[in-house]
Amino acid sequence: MKICRQLLSLILLFSCACATLGVDGSSGPAAVLYASGKVQVNGADSRKITTLFSGDSIRTDADSVANIIAQGSSVLVMPSASVKFLGNAVELTQGGVAIATSAGMFAMAYGLTITPTAQTLSKFEVAEDEDSVVVAAREGSVAVSDGQQTSTTQEGQQTSHKKKGGAAPGASGGHAISGKTLAILGAASAATVAAILIFDKDEKKCVSPSGGKKC
**Digit-coded pLDDT (tens) for 154-194:** 999 999 999 875 433 333 333 344 443 333 333 323 333 33
Beta bridge partners of 153: 142
Topology annotation, domain 2-198: Jelly Rolls (2.60.120)
Cα 162 off chain centre by = 19
What pTM, to 2 d.p., does this model score?
A: 0.70
Instruction: Tell me the per-residue pLDDT of 30-58, one tens digit each, with 9 for 90 and over.
Output: 899 999 999 999 999 999 999 999 999 99
Confidence of residue 101 (pLDDT cuts 50, 70, 90): very high
Once rounded to an integer, what is the mean pLDDT over residues 80-90?
A: 96
Give the per-residue pLDDT at 213.
39
Of 8, 16, 9, 60, which is closest to residue 37 (Cα–Cα)? Answer: 60
Neighbour count for residue 42 (Cβ, 10 Å): 13
- Are 78 and 59 contacting, i.e. CB atoms less than 8 angstroms apart? no
